[in-house]
Chain A
Amino acid sequence: MVELILILISAIFVNNFVLARFLGICPFLGVSKKVETALGMGMAVTFVMTVAAVVTWLIQYFILIPFNIEYLQTIAFILVIASLVQLVEMVIQKVSPVLYQSLGIFLPLITTNCAVLGLAVLNIQKGYSFLESVVFAIGAALGFTLAMVLFAGLRERIDLCPVPKSFRGTAIALVTAGLLSLAFMGFAGLVKG
């Protein structure tokens, strides 16, 4: 139990996927202009990550390893992730057209979000058990959402600030992202791994 909690804390704060591992920077910069869209993106990524972790773990240990075809790992995982993203896209389009509109191109881009594939591959590399994988996935996704929402909040504030013209937009966003990442460095060494 303590193990699981440590994995969770590590994934959310210490080894935050965006701010410490620098995975998933594209949606982090692209969909973080408003807190609502950041939260929606976070939810979509959370779902995809969790289900992807479950399915990829099962595929790795029940198909790839028994048949001795581990070299197909990447393509098999991408196949799973892409299908999940398609599913999420359908659901969001049905449930919340507004969110679907505002996420725009970034929703299908979850497919190529390295955070999702990174998570699946890390699960295998670290040799996590099934339960540990699920907890790690939830932690990673929550960490991603946390980073997105914090960053979106910051960007909403920045919009109201007298930022020098040459810094406006992506430039100041990248500077802010760096500072946020520095802030999260404060958690470094809290948990090993």
Chain B
Amino acid sequence: MIAAVISLGGIGLAAAVALGVAAKKFAVEVDPREAAILEVLSGANCGACGLPGCSAYAKAVVEEGVPANLCSPGGQATIEAIAAIMGVAAEAMVPQVAVVRCQGDNRKAKNKFHYLGLQDCNAAQRIADGPKACPGGCLGLGGCERVCPFGAIEMTADGIAVISRDKCTGCKKCVAACPRNVIAMTPRTATVHVLCNSHDKGAVVRKYCEVGCIGCQICKKTAPGAYLIEDFLARVVYEEEQDAAPGIEKCPTKCIRDFALGYPEGSSFKAAESRPEPEHAA
């Protein structure tokens, strides 16, 4: 008994001493600022900053001078806290918001076949590339809705995803979840978007969708510089400060939408971008 205690205790003590010496010898210096930043980050490890996890971002801020304004779930408070730790002026982040680039719900867009399988977009996409005839259209089975940690996505009754611009924090989880790459990150300041993701030619798009972009170039001609047509699909040039609004009226298939004026039909979200003054209760 005594021998057991002494021998095991001795082995443990010897190991502890050796490890203690080694810890001193091989100490890795961690910048205290790194730990402090990790404290103020949201800890969501969502990857919105473009780095694998919060600790990697904290490290990158300290060591590589990566901007302090990339944590979108943390928002402005986090940015200011990081800036205070790093001793730099807080820059406002360019907040991003996810947009579903599709309005082709089950009324407006055709399906190739009737899908009866597992009610999940990734499962449906594996069966003959999904039931929706449009190769870039929203399958409407709610894969993005289920991964959104903030409840910012709803599926309308007609089967299309709509993202609330108020609740979205720009964490990009839905972008990764969507098997058809329908969801895109856009600058929050831009409210006008082309809600179509089909690169098919106009004649083909017309066959399967009422609200698809046919690449007719009319928006580009109406609002020069605000639109770009690539592979028969228009998109708003977010980098330019051009007003894209004039293109909305002229669009023959009505696939351009200004979210400041409301969400696609069937959505319960209210347009809050253009918040009107609250009316005084009479």
Contacts and interface: CB of A to CB of B under 8 A. Distances in A.
A69 B26 contact: no
Interface string B11-23: 1100110110011
Q: In terms of DSSP, what is the predominant structure of the interface of chain B?
A: helix
Given A67-B4, A68-B3, A87-B22, A79 B126 contact: no
Q: Is the interface of A mostly helix, strand, loop or mixed?
A: helix
Interface string A71-100: 010011001100100110011011001000
A86 B7 contact: no
Contacts of A90: 19, 22-23, 26
A72 B8 contact: yes
B28 A76 contact: no
Interface string B43-83: 00000000000000000000000000000000000000000
Contacts of A59: 11
B7 A63 contact: yes
Contacts, number: 46
A72 B12 CA distance: 13
Contacts of A165: 126
Contacts of B11: 59, 63, 76, 79-80
A158 interface: no
Given A64-B7, A67-B4, A83 B26 contact: no
B15 A72 contact: no
A67 B9 CA distance: 14
B7 A93 contact: no
Contacts of A64: 7
Interface of A: 59, 63-64, 67-69, 72, 75-76, 79-80, 83, 86-87, 90-91, 93-94, 97, 165
21 contacts: A59-B11, A63-B11, A64-B7, A67-B3, A67-B7, A69-B3, A72-B8, A79-B11, A80-B11, A80-B15, A83-B18, A83-B19, A86-B22, A87-B18, A90-B19, A90-B23, A91-B22, A93-B28, A94-B26, A94-B28, A165-B126
